[in-house]
């Protein structure tokens, strides 16, 4: 049987349309030759999720996202249809989570399989969840960097203000003077170092002698360390003895004696008592002085005219022994 050109063209056209429809469905994730189940998930925000985005389990594609529509109530939640291949079993407590499938922000739905023994049936609504979107993630990373950049700019601004203040005309002049002073100080240090080097070179013999004597002294101290220990021990014993002696009592007694002497001297200065009158009243001194003068005149007169005071009789004894007539 010979087919006409028209029939051949018609058959080719039908096959081409069928292939196109199958390819289009395949690209959208639909398999016209396999049975599929539908599940639903309700989201407040799908963050750019569109139809035909993949439905994944552990990164493996098991279906796709079907129809997306807004709910008719006032919440305006987004109802997403999830088309799943028939051969995959889903526990009822599984979670349908909207995620970013690549760094460009393409979206997908990740099924996090639960541990329930009860399986979800065709048409059930699964628990929904959303991954943190790329914008929020970037903001969390960028916000600290932005704060650090702002702080850095503030610091740079402060530094520039300081630099402007430093490099004004007066500051430059002061810096020039400072550098000149530093140069002079370095030159002075160099001269001092040169002089020290010259001094060490010229006095090398004396320095060597001093070091030798120091070494001898150190050796002597080391050789007589036992004697030094005994001396230190003796000083320690003396200090212990002084600490144990009744020094405080002696000091207190001396303080009391000094206080009493101060009282006595105060009374003497006021003219109280015999001693005070003797020291402060000059009448006794005048009388003693007058008596001394009188005694001196008496002694002179006694020396010059002794007969006034001493009567000597040569014959007095004989007269007394002579018998009376």
Which distant-in-sequence residues (6+ apart) come within 8 Å of 98 by Cβ? Answer: 43, 46, 47, 49, 107, 108, 109, 110, 128, 129, 130, 131
Last residue of a domain, one of 110, 131, 152: 131
> Do 5 and 17 share a domain, yes or no?
yes
Grade residue 231 by pLDDT with cuts at 50, 70 and 90. Answer: confident
Query: What pLDDT, in 10s, does the model give residues 11-45?
Result: 888 888 888 776 766 665 555 555 688 999 999 98
Grade residue 303 by pLDDT with cuts at 50, 70 and 90. Answer: confident
In a domain, 231, yes or no: no
> Do 125 and 43 share a domain, yes or no?
yes
Q: Which of 22, 95, 30, 106 is nearest to 66 (CA)?
A: 30
Q: Which of 101, 92, 103 is nearest to 54 (CA)?
A: 101
Domain total of the chain: 3
**Which pLDDT score, from 0 to 100, does residue 40 have?**
94
> Do 102 and 40 share a domain, yes or no?
yes
In a domain, 281, yes or no: yes
Q: Alpha-carbon distance 93 to 171, whole Å?
A: 75
96 with 151: CB under 8 angstroms? no
> Do 85 and 19 share a domain, yes or no?
no
Please say if the pLDDT value at position 66 is more than 80: yes
What distances in angstroms separate CA 78 from CA 39, 132, 217, 273, one per listed residue? 14, 17, 100, 124
- Average pLDDT of the segment spanning 276-282: 70
**Which pLDDT score, from 0 to 100, does residue 11 have?**
82
> Do 85 and 2 share a domain, yes or no?
no
Last residue of a domain, one of 75, 100, 131: 131
In a domain, 108, yes or no: yes
Calculate the average pLDDT of the chain: 80
Q: Alpha-carbon distance 158 to 154, whole Å?
A: 6
> Do 25 and 74 share a domain, yes or no?
no
Q: Alpha-carbon distance 172 to 166, whole Å?
A: 7
Last residue of a domain, one of 84, 104, 131: 131
**Which pLDDT score, from 0 to 100, does residue 57 have?**
92
**Which pLDDT score, from 0 to 100, does residue 325 have?**
43
Q: Alpha-carbon distance 69 to 76, whole Å?
A: 9
> Do 61 and 20 share a domain, yes or no?
no
In this predicted structure, which of 12-21, 162-171, 306-315 has the lowest mean pLDDT?
A: 306-315
Task: Write down the pTM of the prediction.
Answer: 0.38
Which residue bears the tokens 């021990």?
Answer: 233
* Structural domain for 284, as ranges: 258-289
> Do 1 and 27 share a domain, yes or no?
yes
In a domain, 324, yes or no: no
Q: Alpha-carbon distance 12 to 72, whole Å?
A: 45
In a domain, 214, yes or no: no
């Amino acid at each position: 049987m010979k087919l006409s050109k028209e029939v051949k063209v018609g058959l080719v056209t039908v096959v081409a349309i069928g292939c196109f429809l199958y390819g289009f469905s395949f690209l959208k994730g639909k398999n016209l030759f396999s049975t599929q189940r539908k599940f639903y998930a309700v989201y407040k925000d799908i963050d750019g999720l569109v139809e035909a985005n993949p439905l994944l389990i552990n990164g493996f594609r098991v279906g796709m996202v079907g129809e997306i529509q807004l709910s008719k109530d006032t919440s305006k939640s987004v109802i997403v249809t999830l088309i799943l291949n028939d051969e995959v079993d889903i526990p009822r407590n599984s979670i349908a989570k909207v995620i970013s499938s690549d760094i460009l922000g393409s979206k997908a739905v990740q099924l996090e399989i639960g541990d329930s023994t009860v399986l979800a049936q065709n048409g059930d609504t699964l628990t929904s969840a959303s991954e943190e979107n790329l914008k929020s993630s970037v903001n969390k990373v960028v916000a600290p960097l932005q704060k650090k950049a702002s702080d850095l700019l503030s610091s740079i601004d402060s530094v520039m203000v300081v630099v402007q203040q430093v490099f004004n005309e007066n500051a430059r002049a002061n810096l020039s003077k400072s550098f000149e002073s530093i140069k002079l100080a370095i030159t002075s240090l160099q001269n001092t170092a040169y002089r020290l080097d010259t001094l060490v070179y010229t006095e090398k013999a004396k320095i060597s002698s001093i070091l030798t004597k120091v070494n001898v002294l150190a050796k002597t101290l080391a050789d007589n360390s036992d004697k030094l220990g005994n001396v230190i021990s003796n000083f320690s014993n003396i200090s212990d003895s002084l600490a144990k002696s009744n020094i405080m009592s002696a000091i207190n007694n001396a303080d009391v004696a000094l206080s009493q002497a101060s009282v006595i001297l105060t009374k003497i200065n006021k003219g109280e008592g015999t001693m005070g009158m003797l020291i402060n009243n000059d009448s006794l001194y005048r009388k003693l002085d007058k008596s001394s003068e009188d005694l001196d005149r008496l002694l002179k007169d006694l020396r010059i005219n002794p007969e006034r005071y001493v009567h000597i009789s040569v014959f007095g004894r004989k007269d007394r022994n002579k018998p009376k007539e």
